[in-house]
Amino acid sequence: MQGSRMSRDEPTVQGRAWRALLEGHRDLIRFLEEEFVRGAGVELQYYDVMFHVSEVVEGRRMTDLAEAVVLTKSGLTSLVDRMERDGLLERRPDPTDRRATRIVLTQAGKERFEAVSRHHRGVVRRIFTSRVTEEEARVIVDVMERLQSAVQERELGGA
């Protein structure tokens, strides 16, 4: 964990930042997941889907939603199956493209999302928001967005 020798040289600050990011994120997610299941009775993945669906009134297309929650299309198909079975979501034909399916929250889904959101914000505040200064937060936003676009360029630009 620490004092590890990834190379003979002393790790740079950036190198330590990389490991800190990985390990910190891992612990945060692990904690969040546990808190979530215990307190809200819903998996984090459910919340993630509901979050992205709730943003758009007319519903989200499967493909876009899959991208948003980082799943393959078939993976999302089965996830939506389960959530539909649980009465949280509804599939609706897309009026403009008959190939597409739009996912919308049911009334029960909306209520559930509201409740879970409140809980979610509480947990996030306790473990993250309240422990980070504005200054630090700005740096994080700055860095992460920069890295994101770098990755996206690389992915598009090919190897």
Partner DNA sequence: AAAGATTGAGCCATCAATCTTG
Partner DNA sequence: CAAGATTGATGGCTCAATCTTT
Residues that bind DNA (CB under 7 A): 45, 61-64, 70-82, 91, 94, 97-102
Pairing of strands 60-61, 89-93: unpaired
Four-residue CA torsion sign, 33, 38, 44, 45: positive
- Planar angle of CA 84, 109, 64, nearest 5 degrees: 65
Does residue 115 interact with a copy of itself by CB under 8 A?
A: no
Partner touching 82 among a copy of itself, DNA, none, CB below 5 to 8 Å by kind: DNA
Count the site residues for a copy of itself by CB under 8 A. Answer: 58
Distance (Å, rounded) from C-alpha 131 to C-alpha 115?
Answer: 24
Among 37, 108, 115, 132, which residue interacts with a copy of itself (rule: CB under 8 A)? Answer: 132
Token code pair at residue 155? 């992915």
Which of residues 51 and 61 has its CB atom nearest to a copy of itself in the complex?
A: 51
CA distances, 115 to each of 50, 76, 118, 120, 128 (Å): 12, 23, 5, 9, 20
Does residue 121 interact with a copy of itself by CB under 8 A?
A: yes
- Residues contributing to the site for a copy of itself (CB under 8 A): 1, 4-7, 12-18, 20-21, 23-28, 30-31, 38, 51, 55, 68, 70, 117, 121, 124-132, 134, 136-148, 150-152, 154-155, 159
